[in-house]
Structure 1
């Protein structure tokens, strides 16, 4: 589930010259390449409460999303390369597509890259907010299945992508890099309608790293540029009809030898519009701690804690609070194959605003929904435990 944890890839060098120009194939092969990569990840899972019942079942894409992709580059001279990426998620237990009707549901873009001037890409892409802050945040260390903040309401896992987007990422200069992205709404007569914007920067200095990111999402229910956004869990489903959402997040890490410690913070604001089923702005604040320790090249353990609190709004006088603890242990059999175990526990308190059909909302007791893996199967009560043991192979 976590994009930044990809390991190993097998590179195939392909000639891009027509058959009639075989005499030039040696030179072309040195300038062009296509990388095939992917992950297959399956596990046994136990959940203490899924809508009122415990469940032991098989689950996939837990430590890292099951997927395959193609990444290509061609040197076109002057230090510039033409690049592309096509990435598809799939269910490794059934073979089904992760998103029906979308072959390359995760990423599909092309662009130009220059070490001196930066990279410009167009297509379906992750946001700079995720790429820079998410890399240092909870899901940059722990899997999003159990480490993402409740409901992934702050989109620090891989649940948010922009369609029809243009992204510029600067080169890293003195440890500082910047990226900005605009998703075109494509609405005739209105440039702003349905459009989305993201920007972030990251700074690395010796053992320290810090990143800050921003997101502005418009016309959430109808935007053509908002490729995916998690707003279907009991944490935030009451705000699915929001006119806009604003997300701000920051994360920092310190690494010393085999130990890493980090902190993160996010602020999410849902604003109503004329067609929204709620009346006043709702705000969620999340505070998090993460840490990992590598006992050997093969063995790493990680832990995270997060606290999420909603604001008093829309008739909710006792707003929801969520405490979540996540643990992870990995053992690398090889550089490509990993055995893992993950555990998480969440405790919910207070009240939530949830969607009640397509025409209304209801105020109910907040229920636990661990990480990003239980959005569709939340607990029927205030607590939920998830444990998984699995195998991930990367190629």
Structure 2
């Protein structure tokens, strides 16, 4: 497909939103409505900050319930890829590379989540719950991730099962923290004590994930940024499944200084090895500082017996429709910062180190996980005792807001970023040189905010693979993708 078609797709929503705005204006014009009349549903949807929020009293306690969501559909081209898989949040996966197989070719298709995965959620609170002369709030949030193109829940484990045994390399597949559960993105409840902090329990984002949402120059784009494509580097501290911590207890607080700068801190613990709720136990701590011109976030991550799922036994028909499970201990550090030298320019960068280690338990029995059969019925340590592997991610980029200099371009922003991912050789009694590799990634995006609900974007990413981990005889050394999409938030 010619690149001009992607520009046409990016501009198409402009006509749509102009028509919607005109319709809303006509509805509220003096000829059809009086100023005392309530706005109609379309006008409220287009203009309210929270169009589906309901405020009410619950036994004399102020409360609200809100439905919210995001829909993101794009058209994407990739030069080397297996067939897309709509069970994944990102249907193409340029950062993962591409093996040279008969099914790997250039592809152009519609994708879900070019920038962000589509989702539908519910959240709310009940206020003024007084205990010991202090007001508390009961808070909760439930969020499901789904594919707009086929309306199925995100289920990475199913993509792995689809590619096991004799079906190896049938389509794009990946491990993830979203594996078919209804509220797989978030599902938690807790207490907000204001200056005392928040205490919440359930399925919650790892602070690594939350930091990279804000501290990625390309907005943690699901199909174009390594931090968005990969939970391994974009939230899990070495294992993608840990980017969302199930069966976890979290305490977080923000302390505001007299200068209105803020210090934030958090600690979260996952209680692990409970089939159906979480797999592996661990904790993450976070400390940060935020001002209008500068911000920095630091986090430390430690997990034991973490589960990493994958496709099982390529070529073995007994492995069809199963998945393989390996175990790791991990530790990781993330440091990220931002600087605003002017109102229109933001510089963002960071570095992450994570180490893969042998698991504490050599084997753990798992007959089923994520509603999938585990091949062999057991998870084993991916590394032998005495071995370890260090991995590094460095990135730097910038955002530019055109409206600050040219008001006529209000809503237009652009970003660019460079990411270096480096895997050292597995070290131990012997050195495994084929585990050493490097990925150089460049990503650029342009976004135009049409109104409160809609924005449209163009994006490009190129990934260069080198080192013994990615031999050119069996892997493509360059994987490039570009696309355009429309995103709606409500």
- TM-score category, normalised to shorter length: 0.7 to 0.9
Match of 2:50 in 1: 9
Q: How far does residue 230 in structure 1 lie from its aligned partner after superposition?
A: 8.5
Distance 2:288 2:444 in 1: 26
Distance 1:16 1:170, change over 3 A: same
Distance 1:53 1:203, change over 3 A: same
Gaps of 5+ in 1: 1-6, 18-23, 222-228, 233-238, 353-363, 368-378
Match of 1:210 in 2: 296
Aligned length: 340
Distance 1:43 1:263, change over 3 A: same
**Worse-superposed segment, 98-107 or 7-16:** 7-16
Which structure 2 residues correspond to residues 164-243 of structure 1 after superposition, within 5 A?
A: 164-174=247-257, 175-185=262-272, 194-221=280-307, 241-243=326-328
The answer to whether the aligner puts 1:57 opposite 2:162 as a matched pair is: no
Which structure 2 residues correspond to residues 8-87 of structure 1 after superposition, within 5 A?
A: 8-15=49-56, 17=58, 27-28=60-61, 31-50=62-81, 51=98, 52-75=104-127, 76-77=129-130, 78-87=134-143
Distance 1:128 1:243 in 2: 20
Match of 1:137 in 2: 215
Distance 1:113 1:201 in 2: 19
Match of 1:21 in 2: none
Q: How far does residue 40 in structure 1 lie from its aligned partner after superposition?
A: 0.7
Match of 1:154 in 2: 233
Distance 1:8 1:341 in 2: 25
Distance 1:240 1:215 in 2: 21
SS state of the match for residue 234, structure 2?
coil
CA contact (8 A) 1:141 1:292 kept: no
TM-score normalized by structure 1?
A: 0.79
Distance 2:206 2:106 in 1: 36
Distance 1:277 1:109, change over 3 A: closer
Deviation readout 1:14-73 (Å, 9 max, x if unpaired): 5464xxxxxx7xx54xx1001211001101110011143000011011212100111101
Q: How far does residue 186 in structure 1 lie from its aligned partner after superposition?
A: 5.3
**Worse-superposed segment, 137-146 or 300-309:** 137-146
Q: How far does residue 231 in structure 1 lie from its aligned partner after superposition?
A: 7.7
Deviation readout 1:262-290 (Å, 9 max, x if unpaired): 11000011002434243320111111102
The answer to whether the aligner puts 1:320 opposite 2:320 as a matched pair is: no
The answer to whether the aligner puts 1:289 opposite 2:396 as a matched pair is: yes
Q: Pick from 186, 193, 196: which aligns with 1:107?
A: 186
Distance 2:446 2:309 in 1: 27
Distance 1:204 1:214, change over 3 A: same
Distance 2:57 2:472 in 1: 56
Which structure 2 residues correspond to residues 338-353 of structure 1 after superposition, within 5 A?
A: 338-352=455-469
Match of 1:306 in 2: 419
Distance 2:328 2:287 in 1: 27
Distance 1:230 1:335 in 2: 39
Match of 2:164 in 1: none
Deviation readout 1:347-390 (Å, 9 max, x if unpaired): 010022xxxxxxxxxxx5279xxxxxxxxxxx941110111111
Distance 1:93 1:317, change over 3 A: closer
Match of 2:407 in 1: none
Structure (1 or 2) with the greater strand fraction: 1
Match of 2:477 in 1: 382
CA contact (8 A) 2:281 2:306 kept: no
- Quick check: which has more Rg, 1 or 2? 2
CA contact (8 A) 1:286 1:306 kept: yes
Structure (1 or 2) with the greater helix fraction: 2
CA contact (8 A) 2:218 2:417 kept: no
Distance 1:249 1:89 in 2: 26
Distance 1:202 1:140 in 2: 21
CA contact (8 A) 1:136 1:251 kept: no
CA contact (8 A) 2:213 2:220 kept: no
TM-score normalized by structure 2?
A: 0.64
**Worse-superposed segment, 143-152 or 254-263:** 143-152
Distance 1:8 1:305, change over 3 A: farther
Distance 1:172 1:103 in 2: 34
SS state of the match for residue 93, structure 1?
coil
Distance 1:182 1:143, change over 3 A: same
